[in-house]
């Protein structure tokens, strides 16, 4: 049975080729000072930076340059961004990049005018934004597909000193006001990042699918999203400039984590907690930290949610259950997922991400335990999963 919920998603999306021009409709809604957030330089190489600057200037905007956002943005960078926003009196933060830039922009938007220390308030204490805190509006131009950050309130920040990578999903006040999704902007992504994004999308869906025993519309929607992703990813991995495949994947990623399919469900997120702990210790690419721990995790929880794993095998991976036990069918589903992961070329173990045996205890220590999935893991089980992920 569906749980009780309130649903709203205030992000306006502009999707498709040439949608960058929609900045002409959006920019006049905001004041003169625009904080232009971007990463390590990919947008300068592929020409997107020049196009955005031209549109900002044409709309009479003063640009506050805020480049150098690293993958897995840090608390130090967040504090720098807040200073820039205050000094430049930012009226809009425009993130041009992947999930890291979008997350960072949202974190700056709620932290720049926050009286308390943002890391402590939002990430260690998990507090919400105070009602009287000024939130700077955020807009996104997406260049890397995977996180869904373009249409949600999530903002993940890494603290290397305390070896913690923590995500906080904020309420609708923090969602981007608008996001521009042009699939052709993702063509310049290296294959490694593209594949990491594919696994991130699949796992976002799995994190919301593997919970509950009820009959729930969201589970059917998610099966459709997963089938579309699997189909299009097989095309895109061979032909990265295939617009049909890349645009379907971009759309799937947004729906996978724009809060819609989570409605009325409890959700798991334990693969993300394990992956984030690996990320906190290695700074590895987000999607690859997930792929590296997933199979040992799912094999561990499968007996506790067997019916759903059987359904996953049948409805997503087309496994024929005839003549098989439920367990055999479920295992065959996971094997099909494993084969797809290898086809995509994602990282299959944490050793390849830089984790060594002597780090395992500390990685386990950095893993937050969630309670929404089929099994609440013990510390010992976390360590066992990490060992099996080596
Ligand atoms: O920094 P630049 O030079 O732009 O290069 C980036 C970066 O090195 C590159 N890139 C992006 N677009 C490109 C491109 N290179 C060439 N052409 C393009 N068009 O790709 C690299 C990775 O970018 P990044 O933004 O870090 O990747 P992603 O989108 O996967 O974001 C990862 C961050 O998002 C968080 C992760 O934890 C991580 O910190 N997440 C946010 C979520 C949310 N808001 O809901 C949920 C996710 O589960 C995730 O945790
Ligand atoms: Zn993710």
pLDDT in tens, 182-216: 999 999 999 999 999 999 999 999 999 999 999 99
* Ligand 1 atom 25 nearest Cα: 98
pLDDT of residue 189: 97
Q: Which CATH architecture has domain 12-185?
A: 3-Layer(aba) Sandwich (3.40)
* pLDDT tens digit sequence for 103-135: 999 999 999 999 999 999 999 999 999 999 999
Pocket test for ligand 1, best of 99, 123, 148, 255 (most atoms within 8 A of CB): 99
Query: Does the CA dihedral 156-157-163-166 come out positive or negative?
Result: negative
Residue ranges of the chain that CATH labels 3.40.50.1970: 12-185
* Ligand 1 atom 16 nearest Cα: 189
User: Which ligand sits closest to the CA of 97?
Assistant: 1
pLDDT of residue 302: 98
pLDDT of residue 4: 87
Q: Can you tell me which atom of ligand 1 is nearest the CA of 148?
A: 45
Angle at 120 between CA 116 and CA 123, to 5 degrees: 120
Residues of the chain under the 50 pLDDT cut: none
pLDDT of residue 359: 97
pLDDT of residue 1: 73
* Binding site membership of 56 for ligand 1 (Cβ less than 6 Å): no
* Ligand 1 atom 46 nearest Cα: 147
pLDDT of residue 2: 79
pLDDT of residue 123: 96
* Binding site membership of 273 for ligand 1 (Cβ less than 6 Å): no
Given 3.40.50.1970, 3.40.50.300, 1.20.1090.10, 3.40.50.1580, which CATH number is that of 191-388? 1.20.1090.10
The residues, ordered by sequence, that sit 6+ positions from 87 with a Cβ below 8 Å of its Cβ are none
Task: Give the ipTM.
Answer: 0.99
* Binding site membership of 39 for ligand 1 (Cβ less than 6 Å): yes
Residue ranges of the chain that CATH labels 1.20.1090.10: 191-388
């Amino acid at each position: 049975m569906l749980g009780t919920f309130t649903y709203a998603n205030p992000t306006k999306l502009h999707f498709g080729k040439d949608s960058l021009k929609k900045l002409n409709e959006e920019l006049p809604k905001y004041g003169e000072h625009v904080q232009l957030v971007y990463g390590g330089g990919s947008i300068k190489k592929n020409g997107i930076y020049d196009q955005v600057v031209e549109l900002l200037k044409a709309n009479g905007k003063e640009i506050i340059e805020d480049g150098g956002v690293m993958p897995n943005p840090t608390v130090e960078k967040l504090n720098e961004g807040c200073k820039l926003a205050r000094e430049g009196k930012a009226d809009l933060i425009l993130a041009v990049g992947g999930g890291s830039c979008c997350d960072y922009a949202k974190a700056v938007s709620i932290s720049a005018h926050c009286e308390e220390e943002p890391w402590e308030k939002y990430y260690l204490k998990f507090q919400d934004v105070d009602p009287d805190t000024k939130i700077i509006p955020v807009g996104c131009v997406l260049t890397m597909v995977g996180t869904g950050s373009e249409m949600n309130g999530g903002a993940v920040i890494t603290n290397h000193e305390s070896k913690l990578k923590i995500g906080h999903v904020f309420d609708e006040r923090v969602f981007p006001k608008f996001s521009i999704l042009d699939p052709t902007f993702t063509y310049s992504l290296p294959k490694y990042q593209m594949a990491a994004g594919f696994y991130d999308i699949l796992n976002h869906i799995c994190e919301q699918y593997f919970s509950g025993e009820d009959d729930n519309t969201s589970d059917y929607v998610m099966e459709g999203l997963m089938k579309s992703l699997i189909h299009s990813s097989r095309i895109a991995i061979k032909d990265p400039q295939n617009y049909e495949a890349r645009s379907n994947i971009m759309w799937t990623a947004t729906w996978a984590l724009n809060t819609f399919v989570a409605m009325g469900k409890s959700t798991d997120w334990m693969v993300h907690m394990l992956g984030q702990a690996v990320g906190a210790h290695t700074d590895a690419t987000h999607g690859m930290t997930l792929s590296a721990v997933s199979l040992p995790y799912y094999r561990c929880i499968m007996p506790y949610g067997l019916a759903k794993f059987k359904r996953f095998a049948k409805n997503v991976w087309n496994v024929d259950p005839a003549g098989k036990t439920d367990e055999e069918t479920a295992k065959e589903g996971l094997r099909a997922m494993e084969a797809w992961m290898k086809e995509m070329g994602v990282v299959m173990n944490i050793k390849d991400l830089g984790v060594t045996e002597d780090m395992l205890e500390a990685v386990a220590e950095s893993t937050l335990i969630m309670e929404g999935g089929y099994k609440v893991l013990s510390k010992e089980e976390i360590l066992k999963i990490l060992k099996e992920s080596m």
